[in-house]
Amino acid sequence: MAYDTNNIFAKILRGEIPCIKLFEDEHTLAFMDIMPQAEGHALVIPKEPATTLFELSDAAAAACMATVRRIGNAQKKGLGAEGIVLMQLNGAAAGQTVPHFHIHVIPGSIADLRKPHAMVMADTDQLKAVAERIIGAI
């Protein structure tokens, strides 16, 4: 499958669309999900263009996991999360809604994920307040 350079995450990476950034390095970007399934729901994306895990380089996959660990630890510390759910979907048939590889880093437990994925837009000010707690713990 050809990578769509106009997907929303590619636009975020190019600075065309804003995000509530948690962390960025030369290989990855972590930001708040604007349609969270739980408070503190974050996304980690590679800067490398890849639609699914199976198109992602080993180096980019490793960089993503390092950032996932950083964000998950910050969620535990900054939000008091006892557990962290990691979710990663590959392809539309699996439920992937943005065709750019990404990992959901969600504080809480699988039982807390009662909201459907990508259904309700969160309040931006509330997202920013939660983001500050996570950033403060990085």
Which residues are tagged catalytic?
Answer: 102
Q: Are 14 and 83 in contact (CB under 8 A)?
A: no
Which string of b and e fits 55-94 if b means at least 16 CB within 10 Å? ebeeebbebbeebbebbbebbbebbebeebbeebbeeeee
Type of residue numbered 33: D
